[in-house]
Amino acid sequence: MSADKPENDQHMPLVSHLTELRTRLLRCVAAIFIIFAGLFAFTQQIYTFVSTPLRQYLPAGATMIATDVSSPFLTPLKLTMMVSLFLAIPVILHQIWGFIAPGLYKHEKRIAVPLLVSSILLFYTGMAFAYFLVFPLIFKFFAAATPAGVEMMTDITSYLDFVMTLFFAFGVAFEIPVAVVLLVWIGVVDVKCLK
């Protein structure tokens, strides 16, 4: 086998590629909905867990509020769907890997698998860092900075949007080591330049 050809070099017509892509996308969607179906009964508990960092710093007697009629139902449902997506990330990445792996060289496959695994772990670590360390600090500061005469009562939909943004931001920020390895690997920067 020539060293300059992908390991499983096969000529496939465009329709075959599209059919395989559709199959893999359907598997990703199925994984998300299977996880969602399993978590559906726990939507309220999941929202309670995610809102704990804010609720513990609310003033005595204050609660979170829902300003929209459907918010008490739709907001926990939306959160559960996002949790399902986050939990399905390994399946989604596995399907992406299965689609692109046949076109990769053997040396590319050797580095891709550790990068995929570390990407998943780093993303989850970033989310855990945000939840356990950053959220308590932020909400403690916000509660302390509330002006006199203002009662802190947060809308549940606004809270969800805020924490999902932070989860995503910290998850992506923790991907920097993977990005650096990729930049060194493709030759954009070298180790000497980074030092």
In this predicted model, what pLDDT tens digit does every residue of 164-191 receive, in sequence order?
Answer: 999 999 999 999 998 888 888 877 888 8
Is 27 within a domain?
A: yes
Q: What is the pTM of this model?
A: 0.81
Instruction: Quote the pLDDT of residue 10.
Output: 59
Q: Does position 4 have pLDDT exceeding 80, yes or no?
A: no
The average confidence (pLDDT) of the chain is 89
Q: What is the mean pLDDT of residues 112-135?
A: 92
Q: How far is CA 160 from CA 28, 57, 89, 157, 163, in A?
A: 24, 16, 20, 5, 5
pLDDT at 44 over 50: yes
| Residue 1 covered by a domain | no
Is 140 inside a domain boundary?
yes
SS3 60: coil
Backbone phi, psi, residue 130, to 5°: -60, -45
Question: Which of 47-51, 109-113, 150-154 has the highest mean predicted lDDT (pLDDT)?
Answer: 47-51
Place of tokens 């923790």: 174
First to last CA, the chain: 39
CA 95 to chain centre: 16
Using CA atoms, how far apart are residues 16 and 108, in angstroms rounded to an integer? Answer: 24
2 pLDDT band (50/70/90 cuts)? very low
Question: Residue 100 — very low, low, confident or very high, per pLDDT cuts 50/70/90?
Answer: confident
In a domain, 70, yes or no: yes
Q: Could you tell me the residue range of the domain that residue 33 belongs to?
A: 14-194
Q: How many separate domains does the chain show?
A: 1
What is the structure's pLDDT at 132? 96
Tens of pLDDT, residues 48-91? 999 999 999 888 888 899 999 999 999 999 999 999 999 999 89
Give the per-residue pLDDT at 164. Answer: 95
Assess if residue 5 is contained within a domain: no
pLDDT (average), residues 102-111: 80
The answer, yes or no, to whether residue 21 has pLDDT greater than 70, is yes
124 domain-assigned: yes
**Has residue 104 been placed in a domain?**
yes
In a domain, 94, yes or no: yes
